[in-house]
Amino acid sequence: MVKVLFTLFLLIEIGVSDPFRTHCIPCHKEQKVSLKKIFFDYLLYFSSERKVKASIKEFLLHPSPKKQIYKEKKLFKHSLPLEVIEPAIDIYWELYKVIGKIK
């Protein structure tokens, strides 16, 4: 676990292939859709790491109104490749899980 975290932070530190920061954060900032809020809402809704990750992946790969947590929002079709989505979700999870523990 510590090793995984360390490797993640190292990757982020040297800016190598961090699909979460290069793909997810810029657009979410621009669209004012808080990734932090989404993270904790998904966590409340799905509770386990496995389910949170699987649901986000499913939503990103096959967007449909049924899979949206925020039903009131206009469906946004994330057209990102799986090679971006999978590592991005892992980084997303690690980043916010740590913040959640500190608070």
Give residues in contact with ligand HEC (CB under 6 A): 23-24, 27-28, 31, 33, 38, 56, 59-60, 68-70, 73, 75-76, 78, 80, 84-85, 88-89, 92
97: CB partners within 8 A, 6+ apart: 49
Q: To the nearest whole angstrom, how small is the minimum distance from the Cβ of residue 11 to ligand HEC?
A: 16
Question: CA 54 to CA 19: how far, in whole Å?
Answer: 17
- Which lies closer to ligand HEC via its Cβ, residue 10 or residue 41? 41
Q: Which residues of 41-50 are buried (b: 16+ CB within 10 A; e: fewer)?
A: ebbeebeeee
In the complex with ligand HEC, the residue whose CB is nearer, 9 or 70, is 70
